[in-house]
Structure 1
Amino acid sequence: MSRVSGVTIPLFSIRTRADWGIGQITDLPACAAFFLHAGQKLVQVLPAHELAEGETSPYGALSAFALDPIYITIERVSDLDAVEIARTLGDEGHAELERLRKSSRVEYKAVRALKRKALAAAFARFCQRELTTSSERARAFFAFVEHEATWLRDHALYMALRARHDGYGWRTWPDAERDRSPEIVRLALDPKDDGGIGTRILEQMYLQWIAHEQWRAAREEMRALGVALMGDMPFIVGGESADVWANRHQFRSDVTLGAPPDDFAPEGQSWGLPAYDWQAMDKDDLAWLRARAGHAAVLFDRFRIDHVVGFFRQWVRKDGEPGTFDPSGEQNQLARGTKVLSAMRDAAGPGALIAEDLGVIPPFVRETMTRLGLPGYKVLPWERDENFIPRDPRHFPELSVATWSTHDTMPITSWWYALEPWERERLAALDRIPLDLPEGERELALLKLLLSARSDLVLVLANEIVGDKTRINTPGTVNDENWTWRLDRPLEDLGADPSLLARLERIRALVSETNRA
């Protein structure tokens, strides 16, 4: 990695005057251009994969491959024009759209309902105008389907069947659908616009085509700006996902995944998620994981692998039994992690993988990461020696990612006040930051300390750049605030704020001063 500073912002948090109450794929270049004023040459987003109705966590997706249609920009869909959008929404829909644009939080259910209506109209037009005439756009659509067939056919079939069963998971379906009988699988091989399940399958394929085409165009615009795009790969997928339904032999359903005991959870944690069946995955040389990493490399320049220690050892538990590591034994764990990370690195290409190695991590995990050239994370408030003295970020390894905070913590703009006085004193002492500085000046001084890190990559939460104190997510809680944070104003308005522009310019100067320009 070159020495660079980047901004972390969930895609759903981006806000423009023309959005539909949530960040959109085509907003990525505008977001990159805005934060470029602060010298940020990389934008990291959280997972943007398709969620179930009612789900808001980007780590609870129905697919490891499919993008969520909620992020599609309706006005950029070729099969719609302003007149058709207006007709489809009607006066009531337009009033709802204006309300959602002004909402301070993402209202997923309302946004999804509005976009679903517009996208259904777009698909109907596509079928009438393009599929019936075998047009150039129709040929491009089918070329996409063939290119992404390894995951797209299963996903489209899964989503069509799920819709037919009112959104219930595959374990509740009739036997033939639940167990993927040959006649069911054949439905996705040559779907027709028949007004039934074939049409539903085609529509799901169409939505993924539109989303991926918009993503490709957005990445090209970001490249023209000189800004890289970084993503985030969850460790595992949910048991009710299309991936587990289609590849259940590669996942263990007899156990649940979790975390081993620690000071906060003496009996360990159970996440209610399936685990990888390593023996089954080895039979095809980790083909699913390779495909997943390769697809992520198409979407992103770099991506973070969440919970990297899980690829060395999974903590699994059967009902009524104590938890255990899979595999057991350090040598087996070392061999497993090396094999999996090497396969994913080979599929994604050099320099693409970044490993999230926070928490209790055995030494051999980080040794393997270094050997494979995978940077890990350094969260400044957590980096302390045995005497609780903060480690100087200027001594971090170059092969690392330094940050003040993550999407699961408070941004430093508010975390600072939650620290004990002695913690603030010790952190400030690293760069002789006066504790009595005005709030805005102190935030810039803390950013300078972070940017001074020896780490090749520094990540700053968007909240911290614009001076927002809102937390994106509080782990272990379920409420209307998690995963719903939006910028407090559209990018166009933020970019017209003289005081904010002055702050961005000062951050840009700090980026240059710390040799990250």
Structure 2
Amino acid sequence: MPAPTFPLFNWLTDRSSGVLLHPTSLPGDFGIGTLGREARHFVDFLAAAGIAHWQICPLGPTSFGDSPYQGPSAFAGNPYLIDVLALCEHGLVRQDALGPLLFLPHDRVDFGGIYKIKRPILRRAFDKFCTNRKAHQPYGDFEAFKRKHAGWLDGFAYFQALKDNFDGRAWLDWPADVGSFRSAAKSPLRETLAADIEAQQFYQYLFFGQWAELRGYARARGVSIIGDIPIFVALDSADVWANPGLFQFDKKTHRPRAVAGCPPDYFSADGQLWGNPLYDWEALAKDEYRWWIERLELCFELCDVVRIDHFRGFDSYWSIPAGASTARIGEWKRGPGIHFFETVVAKFPQARIIAEDLGEINDDVRALLRNTGLPGMAVLQFAFGGKADNLYLPHNLVANQVLYPGTHDNDTTRGWYHAAGGETQDHVRRYLRVSGDDVAWDFVRAAWASVSNLVVVPLQDLLALDGRARFNTPGVAQGNWSWRYSSAQLDSLRRSAVPYLRELGTLYGRLPKS
């Protein structure tokens, strides 16, 4: 095998712009954003503004805490995003069945309400499908879909059916005979839950069909999708239940030997105890990272570009003994390094991947990023309040980089600015030569003018919203992931800002070439 040529990837060569918005934040009458009409309206706005990318958070189903970064599957789609109006149009659901959804909030996502109301509606769609299967397959052949995705779909559907059967308990607390996918295959529950298992497969069929239509709509208008995947998976997930040999598990207790997190630092004396199971990278390497390759293959089927969260974990990861109460007790261990990405580039030579490299980064991680050639990230909100050598200040940025005013984990720019100290605010005003009265748009213009080839701005900043529109506050368990905008807000933004955004695109060379 010939020696690899570094850098492995070199895809971010053109200047462009994007908007960060998770689909749950789309407006609509049914309690949560969906893959329907309002998603298309958002794509139309991006195309009109000369914005080439729509960045989203992970598309997978959510569980306790509602985070798209901690769900029961690294492969499945979130059934909550299914457009129920399309199900009515296809004869799978009666429109009067949607009535209870209309009483859910319009300005935020009530995940508890969605759980109680939307799940039964989706089950009605499945029951209707079962009455005449040939007549109710709006997104292609259902059996062909099941065969294509059998590698992950069989385990996920069975996992979800078992979870419902055991009243939502974690799989670690299930009876021993269903304690793994392999053992559960022999359980009589598989036959008992056959209809529930197929219902879960049908929900994925609906999600993937509607997502393919939306992605095709975006592609036809010159808008690409930037997806997002967490490096780790949840302990209570179909991935771990079906593939325990890929993780650092004790073979006798069937429990993790160690879990993920990060060590104590300036921001947290105890560090962060995430609790995700750690990969057994040696076992994965023996199989040429097959599970990861299949995961990325599906991501590239769904999205044009993929951002991988916590890139430094491929170089080294903080290993915390299972059962530890804090992340203080742990040690750095080596990840798969460049060998993993050599395998990826051999399989996906044209892959477009973004590396989330924020936080404490050492020279080894920088070398790995350099050798992969993947663009890292920069955040303008992290640039101010210090000295001129801050790497996130615009004069220190590089072309092979993705610049954000803030990410999904940051406050809105307006909220951040008003909470910042006077010294930081003064630095912003002097550096950008602005008054600070319209700081969100000051950051937008600074981003568009920067040398970074790709800039991505949260929709909240285009709407100049304050901290009440923050999407997520890390370390806070409740109240996250629920923000939604209104149709009127986007209509107003389109009328007022599209000409200016196109002007910025022209001035700074970010309009799509087509």
TM-score, normalised via structure 1 length: 0.87
Give the drift of 1:431: 3.4
Residue 499 (structure 2) aligned to one of 491, 496, 505 = 505
Which deviations, in whole Å up to 9, do the C-alpha atoms of 1:45-82 show, x marking residues without a partner?
11120122x43111111000000101000121378539
2:470 is the alignment partner of 1:461 = no
Alignment of 1:116-131 (within 5 A): 116-130=119-133
State the SS of the aligned residue for 1:163: helix
The amino acid that maps onto 1:343 is T
Which deviations, in whole Å up to 9, do the C-alpha atoms of 1:302-352 show, x marking residues without a partner?
11100000111110111459301122xxxxx5xx22122333444455242
The answer for the alignment partner of 1:254 in structure 2 is 257
Q: 1:347 to 1:394 in 2, by over 3 A?
A: farther
The amino acid that maps onto 1:249 is G
2:102 is the alignment partner of 1:98 = yes
Which deviations, in whole Å up to 9, do the C-alpha atoms of 1:247-276 show, x marking residues without a partner?
011112111111022122334322111111
Matched-pair contact (CA < 8 Å) for 1:176–1:184: no
Which deviations, in whole Å up to 9, do the C-alpha atoms of 1:289-312 show, x marking residues without a partner?
111111111111011100000111
2:32 is the alignment partner of 1:22 = yes
Matched-pair contact (CA < 8 Å) for 1:63–1:155: yes
Matched-pair contact (CA < 8 Å) for 1:75–1:81: no
The amino acid that maps onto 2:369 is M
Give the drift of 1:465: 0.6
Matched-pair contact (CA < 8 Å) for 2:52–2:224: yes
Alignment of 1:333-348 (within 5 A): 336-348=336-348
* Cα distance between partner residues in 1 of 2:375 and 2:184: 46
What runs of 5+ residues in structure 2 fail to find an aligned partner? 1-11, 249-255
* Cα distance between partner residues in 1 of 2:490 and 2:62: 31
Q: 1:305 to 1:509 in 2, by over 3 A?
A: same
Residue 296 (structure 1) aligned to one of 294, 299, 309 = 299
* Cα distance between partner residues in 2 of 1:182 and 1:166: 20
* Cα distance between partner residues in 1 of 2:202 and 2:384: 50
* Cα distance between partner residues in 2 of 1:35 and 1:508: 10
Matched-pair contact (CA < 8 Å) for 1:466–1:500: no
* Cα distance between partner residues in 1 of 2:510 and 2:414: 22
2:283 is the alignment partner of 1:280 = yes
Give the drift of 1:113: 2.5
Alignment of 1:40-189 (within 5 A): 40-52=51-63, 54-77=64-87, 80-81=90-91, 84-87=93-96, 89=97, 94=99, 96-100=100-104, 102-130=105-133, 140-181=141-182, 184=185
The amino acid that maps onto 2:238 is A
Which deviations, in whole Å up to 9, do the C-alpha atoms of 1:103-128 show, x marking residues without a partner?
32100121232221221111111111
Alignment of 1:362-401 (within 5 A): 362-383=362-383, 387=387, 390=390, 392-401=393-402
* Cα distance between partner residues in 2 of 1:366 and 1:185: 48
2:494 is the alignment partner of 1:494 = no
State the SS of the aligned residue for 2:77: coil
Matched-pair contact (CA < 8 Å) for 1:465–1:504: no
State the SS of the aligned residue for 2:371: helix
* Cα distance between partner residues in 2 of 1:33 and 1:79: 22
Q: 1:386 to 1:97 in 2, by over 3 A?
A: closer
The amino acid that maps onto 1:457 is L
Residue 199 (structure 1) aligned to one of 189, 195, 201 = 195
Give the drift of 1:138: 10
* Cα distance between partner residues in 2 of 1:79 and 1:122: 12
State the SS of the aligned residue for 1:5: strand
TM-score, normalised via structure 2 length: 0.88
Which deviations, in whole Å up to 9, do the C-alpha atoms of 1:197-232 show, x marking residues without a partner?
111111111111110011111100000110010111
Give the drift of 1:167: 1.2
* Cα distance between partner residues in 2 of 1:412 and 1:368: 31
Q: 1:424 to 1:504 in 2, by over 3 A?
A: farther
The amino acid that maps onto 2:168 is G
Q: 1:165 to 1:366 in 2, by over 3 A?
A: same
* Cα distance between partner residues in 1 of 2:138 and 2:22: 31
What runs of 5+ residues in structure 1 fail to find an aligned partner? 328-332
The answer for the alignment partner of 1:330 in structure 2 is none
Q: 1:78 to 1:350 in 2, by over 3 A?
A: farther
2:414 is the alignment partner of 1:416 = no
Q: 1:259 to 1:138 in 2, by over 3 A?
A: closer
Matched-pair contact (CA < 8 Å) for 1:61–1:241: yes
The answer for the alignment partner of 2:316 in structure 1 is 313
The amino acid that maps onto 1:212 is F
* Cα distance between partner residues in 2 of 1:351 and 1:483: 29
Q: 1:303 to 1:187 in 2, by over 3 A?
A: farther
Give the drift of 1:183: 6.2
* Cα distance between partner residues in 2 of 1:3 and 1:139: 37
State the SS of the aligned residue for 2:337: helix
The amino acid that maps onto 1:461 is P
Matched-pair contact (CA < 8 Å) for 1:293–1:347: no
* Cα distance between partner residues in 2 of 1:233 and 1:495: 27
The answer for the alignment partner of 1:478 in structure 2 is 477
Q: 1:422 to 1:181 in 2, by over 3 A?
A: closer
Which stretch of the first structure deviates more once superposed, 244-253 or 501-510? Answer: 501-510
